[in-house]
Amino acid sequence: MGNIGASELILIFLVALLVFGAKRLPEIARGLGHGIREFRNATREVAQELQLEEGPRAHPIRPPAQNLAPTPRPAPTPAPVQDETRQADDQQPQLSDG
C-alpha cells in the first residue's frame, strides 16, 4: 500500500481532467506547485531558526591520551644585540666647554 503505479496515475489524471476541465488543470497545478514551494521555504526557515537558538554544539571532552611523550618546551629567545656604535658613544668622555 502506498505505491502508485503508472496505471493509477493515468486514471487519477483522467478523473481530474473530467472533473476540472482542460482549462483549469494548469491553474490548479501551478497553485499546487506554489503551495509546495512556500511550504518548503517555511520549513527551511524554521529549521534555521532552531539551529540559531541551539547555538554551537559543544563537542564532548575526551580524557587526555596516556603514554604520550611530553611536549618539548620552546627554545629561549636570545637577548637583543645592542648597537656597538651606540655603546662606544656612551663610553666616551664628554668634553665640556669652559
Express each pLDDT in 39-91 by its tens digit. Answer: 999 999 999 888 877 766 556 677 766 666 667 777 777 777 666 655 555 55
Q: How many CB atoms lie within 10 A of CB 25?
A: 14
Give Rg (Cα) of the chain: 41
Where does the pLDDT of residue 13 fall: very low under 50, low under 70, confident under 90, or very high at 90 and above?
confident
Cell match 499546487: residue?
32
Buried b (16+ CB within 10 A) or exposed e, 48-79: eeeeeeeeeeeeeeeeeeeeeeeeeeeeeeee
In this predicted structure, the answer to whether residue 3 has a pLDDT above a threshold of 80 is yes
pLDDT band at 36, cuts 50/70/90?
very high
